[in-house]
Amino acid sequence: METVWSALVDPHRRALLDLLREGPRAVGELAGELGLSQPMTSKHLRVLREADLVRVRTQAQRRIYTIAPDRMAELDAWLAPYRRLWNDRLDALGRHLDDDDDDRKET
Amino acid sequence: METVWSALVDPHRRALLDLLREGPRAVGELAGELGLSQPMTSKHLRVLREADLVRVRTQAQRRIYTIAPDRMAELDAWLAPYRRLWNDRLDALGRHLDDDDDDRKET
DNA sequence: CCCTTATATGCCTTGACACGTATATACAAA
DNA sequence: TTTGTATATACGTGTCAAGGCATATAAGGG
């Protein structure tokens, strides 16, 4: 769990995950799209790998990285009890003000 | 947003928020319950304060800290597109068991 | 006014981490 | 094997933050 937090705190690693959310990619593609050097990309991917946030499969010389969202569910579980707090707060605001009324939960 | 991440990455600060989720408390109480020194508690609270994750009000010599969950909603927003991923995964696993359409949380 | 309580801040050390550069490893084609 | 491509790792460096300790600030009570 702490590994997940320390992996996600870095903006580059979150950007990597955002890219991988659209589909599996090789290291070179990720580096190119983020404007990141290849060694740094590999290092960041290693951190994500050791946090079980991504998986890798080998295809010729390329390493194809895939997102593995299970551990992010843990983060969501941590966040869950707080979600109630800000929902209540939005409810309270919505009762007093009319500008924020609909669509406050479940994207 | 980055401020929120770097504030939440520290386990002590997350523990502080977990305590404040149950209700507002003074610095001394928080320090006592976490076994943390008073200066460190104040410093961590400062980080949370500057990330707008807590608010403080003065009551005599005490500073009463309250949770301010609005910024955590941003984190939830970042997490939202991933939630679809692991929900799909759970759906695939549990398709033959209990099959309801959407909301499967609230344990 | 002291004096005590409660909290914040300043200084310092240490450790972790991001980054760049260079090199190593893995695989494939010639 | 040699060469080229793709990725990983090793090393050195600078930065930044957590932690302890001491001290400053604030507020109330005698």
**pLDDT confidence of residue A87:** 80
B8-43 pLDDT, tens digit each: 999 999 999 999 999 999 999 999 999 999 999 999
Residue B2, judged by CB atoms within 10 A of its CB (0-12, 13-18, 19+), counts as: exposed
- Class assignment of domain A2-68? mainly alpha
> For B36-74, what is each residue's pLDDT tens digit?
999 999 999 999 999 999 999 999 999 999 999 999 999
CATH number attached to the domain at B2-69: 1.10.10.10
Q: Look at residue B1 and give its three-state secondary structure.
A: coil
Interface test with A, best of B16, B75, B91 (most A CBs within 10 A): B75
Instruction: Provide DSSP, B3-31.
Output: HHHHHHTSHHHHHHHHHHTT--EEHHHHH
Q: What number of CA atoms fall less than 13 Å from residue A12's CA on the CB side?
A: 17
Please name the residues between 17 and 36 in chain B that touch chain A, using a CB distance below 8 Å.
Answer: 17, 21
Q: So where are chain B's domains?
A: 2-69
Q: In what order do the strands lie in the sheet with A54-59?
A: A25-26, A62-67, A54-59
Both tokens of residue A90?
């939005």
